[in-house]
Amino acid sequence: MYKKRKIIFDLDETLYADSSLRQRREQAILEFLGDKSEVYLELKKSKGTIASLNEMGISKEVFYNIIEKVEINLKKDKKLRKMIKNLKKKFEVIVLSNVSKNLVKETLEKIGIIDLIDNYYGADCFSQQKPSVECFFMVERGDVCIGNNYEKDLEVPKSRGAITILIGKDDKRSDFCGKSIYDIERVIQNIGGIRRYLELRTTVFS
């Protein structure tokens, strides 16, 4: 029986992009921190949000609680839904995010694709958040991983033989880049044969 390869998406700033939601979540964190906000902002220059908060003694569970109170004012994305439907013909579709699993579910419902997703994971499914190797347990050679941050979303998958696609940036470390999530189908079609591409990449870089 033919086994589908997996296509694994990051969530925020990948499957959707909404600067106002990101800003409102950041504002909620700053309001929670109060006079400790400056410490957080300084730490964040070299660390991610969760890592910065952890260094300040604030757990990821508290972080989830803060941002889950921020309304997700996203709308259903018909264009994205059509694209995911097409990808499901060849791929098992997975979403992997550094927010909580509950928030992943709510976001996927808001953008109208929850019923098309085969599985989804939040950072609370693991002992550590991305880019921990633990989070990428499902990644196998020949799978496709898509994200907006190379170090967080793609570096570990590429080391495991996955094809990597970076959204919104140009970075030669990633196999392919797309300006937005809607470029994914075109990029995957241009890969041609995934197995053949992997063999070629191994020949070039080994």
pLDDT in tens, 98-107: 999 999 999 9
Residues 6+ apart with CB under 8 A from 18: 73, 74
- Inter-residue contact 21 to 73 (CB < 8 Å): yes
- Cβ atoms of residues 175 and 161 within 8 Å: no
Whole-number Å distance between alpha carbons of 68 and 101 = 11
Spatial contact of 47 and 55, defined as CB atoms under 8 Å apart: yes
Task: Count CB-CB contacts under 10 A for residue 70.
Answer: 17
With tokens 């908060």, the residue in question is 53
Instruction: Report pLDDT digits (tens) over 36-92.
Output: 999 999 999 988 898 899 999 999 899 999 999 999 999 999 999 999 999 999 899
Q: Could you write out the DSSP letters of every residue in 112-175?
A: T-GGG-SEEE-GGGSSS-TT-GGGGTT--TT-EEEES-IIIIIHHHHHTT-EEEEESS--TTSS
Q: What percentage of the chain has pLDDT greater than the value 90?
A: 77
Domains of the chain in sequence order? 5-16+75-205 (3.40.50.1000), 19-68 (no CATH)
